[in-house]
Amino acid sequence: MIRFVIVVGTLLFGAGAGMAQQDIAVKQDNLMRAQGKSMYVTMLKMVKGEMPYDQAAIDDAIKELQEDVPKIPTVFEPNPKEHVVNATYGSSQKIWQNKADFDSKVPPVVKAIGEIKGSIKDTASLKVAFDTIQAKCNDCHEPYRLKLK
Ligand code: HEC
């Protein structure tokens, strides 16, 4: 009986730990998706002319990016050690071997957004801003983001 309780207890604990790990991965992914929404839905669609230029929507997207990007170091503090189920992108384990270097990729994104946001006034200037910000996002994606499928 005691052995049975220990086995069941271990199984439950294992399942609980697995869920917590998945929650961490989901939280990290949601932060990236929110940034992706500002950049690739709002801004990129306007750059491509798939959506009419809308200054208020741009200002909101920039504001959200300025709120979200600085959260990256803290949200990526815990290592989920697993990927979001069925995700296209995942985190490289290198993040937690070089956390200081990973974190150092964040201020350049914040700086780029702060410097360029005032210049966005039409599709052409939006394209310049998009490319500038995107390059800084990629400086972290190249070393630390895995393409899973
Ligand atoms: C300091 C590193 C870092 C920076 C800076 C960064 N990212 Fe990411 N990003 C990641 C990692 C790691 C992943 C993969 C794990 C994940 O999806 O949570 C990722 C994944 C993503 C994904 C894929 C999400 C999915 O699963 O569909 C999008 C979209 C994304 N980032 C957008 C952005 C945008 C836009 C910026 C710039 C404004 C940015 N990221 C800046 C590290 C970073």
Instruction: Give this prediction's pTM.
Output: 0.90
At 107-118, the pLDDT tens digits run 999 999 999 999
Tokens 């200054």 sit at which residue? 55
pLDDT band, residue 146 (cuts 50/70/90): very high
At 70-97, the pLDDT tens digits run 999 999 999 999 999 999 999 999 999 9
pLDDT value at 30 more than 90? yes
Instruction: Domains for the chain: give ranges and CATH numbers.
Output: 2-147 (1.20.120.10)
Neighbours of 69 (CB within 10 A): 22
Cβ(33) – ligand 1 distance below 6 Å? yes
Cβ(144) – ligand 1 distance below 6 Å? yes
Q: Which of 137, 138, 144, 147 to mutate to test the pocket of ligand 1 (most atoms within 8 A of CB)?
A: 137
